[in-house]
A and B are shown apart, each in its own frame.
Chain A
Amino acid sequence: MIYIYLEPSALFKAYIPEQGSDNIEYILSKLGVEFTGITSRWTLLEITRGFVKRKNLGELTPKELKEIVAFFLDDINRLLVSRKVKIVDVTKSIIEKSISLILSKNLYAADAIHVQTAVYSGARVMLTDDIHIKRLAKITPLKIISVELTKEEFIRQINTLFS
């Protein structure tokens, strides 16, 4: 089983229609068979806050915000209990390793937590969007794949994990 780290900028796209939504959906549909998804518990906070920001920007109504956040949390819980996704707690050990990374690489605290959680949990690859791949690729030994690639290129890169 290959562990794939779901960074929030990639996972968020599963709930909003935009470039990359099809690719993250492709991965989520394969979870439990070929892959296990991993993410930090912090991801739940970041995406929830992201939905609130979308409401503040007028992209969602207050009623939709409430419904979509509940749907998102239920969907993640369903993936969790069916063992398709693992949620990794932000532990003392991850915090301590993240501090080193923040000091040495001048990272956002959340970037450091995601990188260290991925490494700690044995992920082979991290999925992000184009914005984050540039920043994170410099500081982690993990393979990073953008979900904003074309579908063909994305699947080709995912398939390299099996070779």
Chain B
Amino acid sequence: MRVISVRIDEQLLNEALKQIKAGKFKNFSELVREALRTYLLRNRYKWRTREELREYLKKRKFRRSGEIIDEVREEDEL
């Protein structure tokens, strides 16, 4: 991994440190990596989150996931 330096304002830093103190991230680097991944993921698809994906699909009828998974397992039996 590469080391980079960035400038951020005091308020943003304090908010980030609160998240780390609350145990959501082990350190500042982990928080920044997670924030970057989330940002990049959100701009790659129509849906930014799993919730948004489910919302996009919610008007359709779907078979239960358990039934679909069992059919996948039955295929393996053939």
**Chain A interface (Cβ within 8 Å of chain B)?**
8-9, 12-21, 25, 28, 32-33, 46-47, 49-50, 53-54, 57, 59, 67-68, 70-71, 74-75, 78, 81-82, 108-111, 128-132
Q: Decide: A111 near B73, CB < 8 A? Known: A17-B54, A25-B51, A67-B46.
A: yes
- Give CA–CA (A81, B33) in the complex, Å: 9
Give the residue of B37, B46, B57, B66 whose beta carbon is less than 8 angstroms from that of A129. B66
Give the residue of A70, A108, A129 whose beta carbon is less than 8 angstroms from that of B65. A129
Write out the residue numbers on chain A whose beta carbons fall within 8 Å of the beta carbon of B28.
none
B76 and A16 form a contact (CB under 8 A): no
Total CB contacts across the A-B interface at under 8 A: 104
B70 and A14 form a contact (CB under 8 A): no
Give the residue of B24, B55, B65 whose beta carbon is less than 8 angstroms from that of A12. B65
Give the residue of B30, B33, B41, B65 whose beta carbon is less than 8 angstroms from that of A16. B65
Q: Does B2 contact A (CB under 8 A)?
A: no
What's the nearest-Cβ distance from chain A to residue B65, in Å? Answer: 4
* B61, closest chain A residue (CB): A59
- Give CA–CA (A110, B68) in the complex, Å: 14
B45 and A9 form a contact (CB under 8 A): no
**Chain B interface (Cβ within 8 Å of chain A)?**
23-24, 30, 33-34, 37-38, 41, 44-47, 50-51, 53-55, 57-58, 60-77
Write out the residue numbers on chain B whose beta carbons fall within 8 Å of the beta carbon of A131.
64, 66-67, 70
Interface of B is mostly: helix
Write out the residue numbers on chain A whose beta carbons fall within 8 Å of the beta carbon of B67.
131
- Give CA–CA (A109, B77) in the complex, Å: 8
Q: Decide: A49 near B51, CB < 8 A? Known: A9-B65, A17-B58, A82-B33.
A: no
What's the nearest-Cβ distance from chain B to residue A162, in Å? Answer: 15
Q: Decide: A71 near B37, CB < 8 A? Known: A17-B62, A18-B64.
A: no
B68 and A78 form a contact (CB under 8 A): no
Write out the residue numbers on chain B whose beta carbons fall within 8 Å of the beta carbon of A109.
73, 76-77
B68 and A12 form a contact (CB under 8 A): yes
- Give CA–CA (A80, B51) in the complex, Å: 19
- Give CA–CA (A75, B51) in the complex, Å: 12
